[in-house]
Amino acid sequence: MGLTYDLIVHNIGQLILPRSSENPLKGKEMQDLAVSEDAALGVVNGRVAWLGSSSDSASFKALERIDAKGRVVSPGLVDPHTHLVFGGSREHELSLKQAGVPYLEILAKGGGILSTVSATKNASEEELFEKASFHLERMISYGVTTLEAKSGYGLDADTELKQLGVIQRLKEKYPVSIISTFLGAHAVPPAFKGKEDKFLEEMSLLFNEVKESGLAEYVDIFCETGVFTVDQSREFLQKAKEMGFGVKIHADEIDPLGGAELAVSLGAASADHLVAASDEGIKKLAEGNTVAVLLPGTTFYLGKDHYARARKMIEEGAAVALATDFNPGSCVTENLQMIMSLAALKLKMSAEEIWNAVTINAAHAIGKASEAGTLKIGRAADFVIWDVPNYKYIPYHYGVNHAQSVFRSGKLIWERMAYSGVQLSSAR
């Protein structure tokens, strides 16, 4: 009477097993990536129950067996920075971008984030839920099983809570793990121009309700020229910490204000963007355990020549993760695989660093490293079968979806459809 597995996946060409520990992988450690060849994995009750060689699994009893046909299997991807819930879209701003109008100038004129704020205020909770569901399903199709989602397109109590409520409903409906972040400090509403402190005070009045109702695990702020200063960000996030939230910062995206240094001094889970982070900021990141979440899709979408200095960060010893930054203005894609390609081409990260950056380090950036980001006995069996010959292939072949099937807790949640085979008799 041996054990019967619920599922055995065998004939895995390469099984990617990022190393997990209490701390994120830093510096040179990011180059370590365990890859088992001819591997198999066994699932019982939605959890990984066995990992080993494919031939050893042949004699196991299993209710279901999947032949991976020599493909790559990895842990489900983790997207640690998304603005998933919003109303409307901003395709009308593309011509402004083409004409060279800077992102912060569009925002200063009431467009950008503020245009999405109006659309989000005008949308019903149901509409926001439907729209976010559409984007979330697409993220899942790209192999994501854990993600972070932010509010920040309300900038008033009701609309911020409406957005967080939508994230709550997504958590209940979808079989993925979603970490929620309160980003009420995403922009300054026109009525508060010149009264930023007053606005932040108002947003901080929501901390209690958000905490009590479990609507967010993290608090984030856009620390940037023309938005919130380092001092304002420090005070706001300090209050959030005192209320028991984890903290994150949109740091040094456009100007080197010292957001990275602030993030480390606050013990933030992550400092995100960091395109303009100073040498000093990078040194500080290397000293602490704040994860540098890089968003090269945003730099690409904003048409900038200079990307975050990932090589310097890794050489100095920082922990780097990657995310989409999916949002309707500065990075309009749900495709984390595309970000992996940009990380290879623009950030010059190695394939091993990239895989660690979208799995275990991404999980650290959202406090989920004990549950997500690797496959280990006892962990939820969240994994992806990739239709690629080896793990280096995904950053290399860009812009498309390589996911074959996506599993959450051992259950298939998405699978690629085959060509229908239909013959059109008279197409012309």
Nearer to ligand IZC, 40 or 292 (CB): 292
**Could you tell me the smallest distance in angstroms from the CB atom of residue 106 to ligand IZC?**
9
Residue whose beta carbon is closest to ligand IZC: 329
Quote the DSSP letter at residue 158.
H
* Residue 189: Cβ-neighbour burial (10 angstroms; 0-12, 13-18, 19+): middle
Which residues in 17-36 contact Zn ion (CB under 5 A)? Answer: none
Contact residues for ligand IZC (CB under 6 A)? Answer: 83, 112-113, 116, 222, 250, 327-330
Site size toward Zn ion (CB under 5 A) is 1
Burial of 428 (0-12, 13-18, 19+ CB in 10 A): exposed
Give the residue nearest to Zn ion (CB). 325
Task: Find all residues with CB under 8 Å of 217, minimum gap 6, and list them.
Answer: 179, 180, 181, 245, 246, 366, 367
Q: Choose the one of Zn ion, ligand IZC, none that binds residue 112, judging by a C-beta under 5 to 8 angstroms depending on kind.
A: ligand IZC
- Window of 71-79, 305-313, 321-329, 332-340 that interacts with Zn ion by CB under 5 A: 321-329
- Beta carbon of residue 306, minimum distance to ligand IZC (angstroms, whole number): 16
Cβ burial of 277 (10 Å; 0-12, 13-18, 19+) is buried
**Region from 7-15, 123-131, 208-216, 320-328 binding Zn ion, contact rule CB under 5 A:** 320-328
H or E stretch at 2:
none
Give me the least distance between CB of 330 and Zn ion, in Å please: 8
At 74, phi and psi to the nearest 5?
-130, 165
14 makes contact, choosing from ligand IZC, Zn ion, none, with CB < 5 to 8 Å by partner type, with none
Tokens (6 digits) for 194? 């010149």
* Closer of 42 and 328 to ligand IZC (Cβ): 328
Residue 146, strand partner residues: 78, 177
Instruction: Please report, for residues 97, 163, 293, 311, the alpha-carbon distance to residue 343 in angstroms, rounded to integers and kept in the order given.
Output: 23, 30, 12, 10
Q: CB nearer to ligand IZC: give 250 or 408.
A: 250
Nearer to ligand IZC (CB atom), residue 76 or residue 112: 112
Nearer to ligand IZC, 72 or 221 (CB): 221
Q: At what angle do helices 157-173 and 113-122 cross, to 10 degrees?
A: 80
Site string for Zn ion, 322-351 (x = CB under 5 A): ---x--------------------------
Binding site for Zn ion (CB under 5 A): 325
